[in-house]
Amino acid sequence: MRNLLAALITTPAILLAGCATTPEENSRISTLQQEIDNLNSTPDGKQYAPIAVQEAQESLDKLKNLSEDGVSDEKYEHQLYLTERQIEIARANVSQKQAEATVGSAELRRKDILLQAERQESARARSLAASMAGRAQELEQQVSDLQTEDTERGLVLTLGSVLFETNKATLHTGSQRTVEKVAEFLNQYPERKILIEGFTDSRGSDDYNQQLSEDRAQAVRELLVTSGVDAQRVQVEGYGEEYPVASNDNSAGRQQNRRVEIVISKENGADVSDRTTMVDEQ
Amino acid sequence: MKTFLCQKTRSLRFVIPFFLVFIAACSTVQPPATLVTQAQERVRQAESVGADDAAPLVLREAQQHLSEAERAMQKEQFEEARLLLEKSLINSELAIAQTNASNAKKAAEEIEKNLDLLRREATPNSQSNSYSYE
C-alpha cells in the first residue's frame, strides 16, 4: 500500500520532469536567443546578414518547440548543434560583409585622401602666399619709412624733419628706432662710404641754419655709430637752407626741406661725390 | 493498404489519420539520398573555396559527419544518417562562410594598409614634399 502510494506520487513527477523544459535547456536557449538578439540589434547584423540571422532565429524557434514538447535528448541536442552553427554562420556573414564594405569603399576613401591632401596643399600654398605677401608689405613699409631713392651719387635715404625736435638737433625718442633701422640697412653694405647731409628751411639766419643742419647731421651720425656703423665710413655735411626740395613759401614745403639725407656710395670704398660738384656737372 | 483499412473500419474518418501516421513513419526511414548528394556537394564546394586553409576544423567536421553518414547509410540506419548529413551540411555552410569572411578580411586589411600608406604620403607632415623657398 505504501509502495503503491509512493508510485502514484513519483510517477506523475517523473512524467512532468520528462515533459517540462529543464533549467539547463532554458538557460542554453536564452543564451542563444541573446546571441541572435545581439546580431539583430547591431545595424551591421540587420544590414549585412539578414537572411542568416533569420535562419538562426528559425533554427532556435525549432529548438524551443522541441524543448517544450519534451522530445528525446538526441533530437534536442541535434537541433541545438544546428542552431549554434547557424549563429556562427550569421556571424561569419556579418564580418564578411563588413570587410567587403571596407573594400568597396576603398576607392571613395582613396579619392577622399587625395582631395584632402590637395586641400591641405592649397591651404599651405595660401598661407605661404599670405606670409610672403606680409613679408613684402613689411619690406615695402620699411622702404617707404626710409624713403630711399636711387640717384647718380648713390642710394639716398631721406629722414624727414619730424625726426627732430623743433630748432634742436636732438632726435625724438621714437625716431631713434628709425635710425637704428637705417644702421641695420647700412650694415648690409659694410664697404660703402656714407655721407650724411643736413638741411633746413629758409626761416632763421643763414648761420643758424648752417649750424643747425650740421648739428642734425652730426646727431644722426652719432646714433648710427652707436648702432654699430663704423665711424670711419661716415662723413657729415651741413648745407643750411641750400638745396631745398620744395617751396619755402608754405609750411608743407618747409617741412620737406627740413631734412637729413643719408647718401650711400655706389661703389665699395669710394667716397660719396660732393653735392657741389654734382650740381656743377649738371 | 488503404482499401484494406477501409474495409476493416468502413469509415474514412478513421482511415485518414492512420494513413498519415503511417506515411510519416515511413518517410523517416527512407534513405535520405538527396541529402547525401547535397552534403557531398557542399563538402566539395567548401574544399574548392579554400576552407582547408581558412576553416580547417569546421571543414573536417563536415567531412567526418559525411563519412559517418555514409557508413550509417550502408547499415541502413537512415535516421542516424539524416542527422549526420544535416550536421555535415551545416558545417560545410559554416566553413564556406568563414572562408569567405577570412578572404574578405584579408582584402580589407590590404586595402587599409594601402590607404594608410597613401595617407602618409599625401599628408604634408611627410618629408616628400617638394617646396623650395629659394
Amino acid letter at A133? A
Q: What is the mean pLDDT of residues B114-119?
A: 82
- Residue A140 and residue A128: Cα distance in Å, rounded? 18
Chain A residues whose CB is inside 8 A of the B122 CB are 113-114, 116-117
pLDDT of the residue at A282: 37
Top pLDDT among B2 and B79 is at B79
> What pLDDT shows up at residue A201?
87
Give the model's pLDDT for residue A237: 92
User: Residue A6, class by beta-carbon neighbours within 10 Å (0-12 exposed, 13-18 middle, 19+ buried)?
Assistant: exposed
What residues in B contact A98, CB-CB < 8 Å?
108
Q: Directed axis angle between helix B56-74 and helix B33-49, to 10°?
A: 160
pLDDT of the residue at B110: 86
Residue pLDDT, tens place only, B85-98: 999 999 999 999 99
Q: What is the pLDDT of residue B29?
A: 66
Q: Where are the domains of chain A?
A: 20-104, 147-281
Residue A206: which residues within 8 A CB-CB, separation 6 or more? A240, A241
pLDDT > 70 fraction of chain B, expressed in percent and rounded: 69
Distance from the first to the final alpha carbon of chain A: 154
Chain A / chain B CB contacts < 8 angstroms = 78
pLDDT score at A35: 92
- Our CA-based measurement puts residue B122 at a distance from the nearest CA of chain A, in whole angstroms, of 5
Rg (CA), chain B: 29
Considering the domain A147-281, what is its CATH architecture?
Answer: 2-Layer Sandwich (3.30)
- Spans in chain A with pLDDT lower than 70: 1-21, 132-133, 135-148, 160-163, 165-166, 173-175, 269, 276-282
CA A2 distance to own-chain centroid: 96
* Confidence tier at B72 by pLDDT (50, 70, 90): very high
Interchain CB distance below 8 Å, B90 and A85 = yes
- Domain B31-121 in CATH 1.20.1270.390? The answer is yes
Q: Can you read off the three cell numbers belonging to residue B13? A: 474518418
The domain segmentation of chain B, as residue ranges, is 1-30, 31-121
**Complex ipTM, two decimals?**
0.70
Low-confidence winner among A92-106, A266-280, B5-19, B50-64 (lowest mean pLDDT): B5-19
**Bridge partner residues of A197 (DSSP):** A237, A261
pLDDT computed for residue B10 by the predictor: 53
> Which of A95, A98, A110 has the CB atom closest to B118's CB atom?
A110
Tell if the CB–CB gap between A102 and B111 is shorter than 8 Å. Answer: yes
The rounded mean pLDDT for chain B is: 79
Give the DSSP per-residue string, B50-92. Answer: THHHHSHHHHHHHHHHHHHHHHHHHTT-HHHHHHHHHHHHHHH
pLDDT band for position B3 (50/70/90)? very low
| pLDDT at residue B128, rounded to an integer | 42
What CA–CA distances, in Å, run from A196 to A58, A162, B1? 103, 17, 138
Distances in whole angstroms, Cα of residue B6 to Cα of each of B3, B26, B35, B128: 5, 20, 35, 94
